[in-house]
Amino acid sequence: MFRLQGSKVLAVDMTGDAVKAKNGSMVAYDGQMAFKKMSGGGEGIRGMVTRRLTGEQMTVMEVKGHGTCWFADRASEINLVNLQGDKLYVESSNLLATDAGLRTGTSFTGMRGASQGNGLFTTTVEGHGQAAIMSDGPAVVLRVSSQYPLTVDPGAYVAHQGNLRQSFQSGVTFRTLMGEGGGEAFQIRFEGDGLVYVQPSERNTIAGDV
């Protein structure tokens, strides 16, 4: 159902089914489509409460019908993720679209969310189906294994999936090590078995000037 046209446009072919996408991201469609605005980030009362507490803003729309819809957002690169009953953790600003059958929610991120200024919760997507995530520049998918844990700059982090544990390192900064100073105050360490998506451009974070 999901396919890329180039690296910055998502095409979704529908035959009466539905897709959930970031509000305002549709750039064209053909056929017969119906649109409905939804509250996003998480579903139900818990999602509403966590968004209110953290300030996470994610407005989504549901598109349903017969035909093809094309989605894009600020010329961001798009990456397709196939979920087979597992869970994807993704920053809400990096989530473009999901199969309507996938469940979205929120997950506590602790120090990572605080260091990024995105609140203490991140968006989760789980079930069987496809999701499209965005990155500022072509994303790199890095494998984490028991032998090779991974440390990531929070400003470059996009998403992760698999059986991964997160911890946070403070006082060790990539830029400080390079003699530039003013680097991130925290780094994210992933251990276990899974995949981490990182982008080649850092978003601004609270910890960036610490």
Average pLDDT rounded to a whole number, residues 123-128: 92
Q: Taken in order 53, 50, 38, 112, is the CA torsion positive or negative?
A: positive
Average pLDDT rounded to a whole number, residues 15-40: 89
| Residue 126, domain member (yes or no) | yes
Say what the pLDDT of residue 112 is: 52
| Residue 209, domain member (yes or no) | no
| Residue 129, domain member (yes or no) | yes
Say what the pLDDT of residue 154 is: 83
Q: Taken in order 96, 102, 106, 109, is the CA torsion positive or negative?
A: negative
Q: Read off the CATH number of the domain in which 75 is found.
A: 3.60.160.10
Average pLDDT rounded to a whole number, residues 100-112: 75
Q: How far is 208 from 18, CA to CA, in rounded Å?
A: 39
Average pLDDT, the chain: 81
Say what the pLDDT of residue 58 is: 62
Q: What pLDDT, in 10s, does the model give residues 142-192?
A: 999 999 999 998 889 999 999 999 887 775 555 555 555 545 567 889 999
| Residue 206, domain member (yes or no) | no
Average pLDDT rounded to a whole number, residues 63-79: 96
Say what the pLDDT of residue 107 is: 78
Decide if pLDDT at 125 tops 70.
yes
| Sequence-ordered list of residues with C-beta below 8 angstroms from that of 193, at least 6 positions apart, any chain | 144, 145, 146, 162, 163, 164
Domain around 87:
2-198
For the entire predicted model, the pTM comes to 0.81
Average pLDDT rounded to a whole number, residues 95-124: 72
| Residue 38, domain member (yes or no) | yes
Distances (CA, A) of 203 to 39, 104, 149, 158: 24, 23, 23, 10
Residue of 19 and 92 predicted with greater confidence: 19
| Residue 207, domain member (yes or no) | no
Q: Per the structure block, which two tokens stand in for 173?
A: 């900064």
Q: Is residue 104 within 8 Å of residue 27, measured between CB atoms?
A: no
Q: Please tell me the total count of domains within the chain.
A: 1
| Residue 210, domain member (yes or no) | no
Burial of 44 (0-12, 13-18, 19+ CB in 10 A): exposed
Say what the pLDDT of residue 207 is: 40
Q: What pLDDT, in 10s, does the model give residues 30-58?
A: 999 999 887 544 455 555 554 555 445 56
How many Å is the Cα radius of gyration of the chain? 17
Say what the pLDDT of residue 208 is: 37
E strand or H helix that includes residue 145:
none
Decide if pLDDT at 59 tops 60.
yes
| Residue 157, domain member (yes or no) | yes
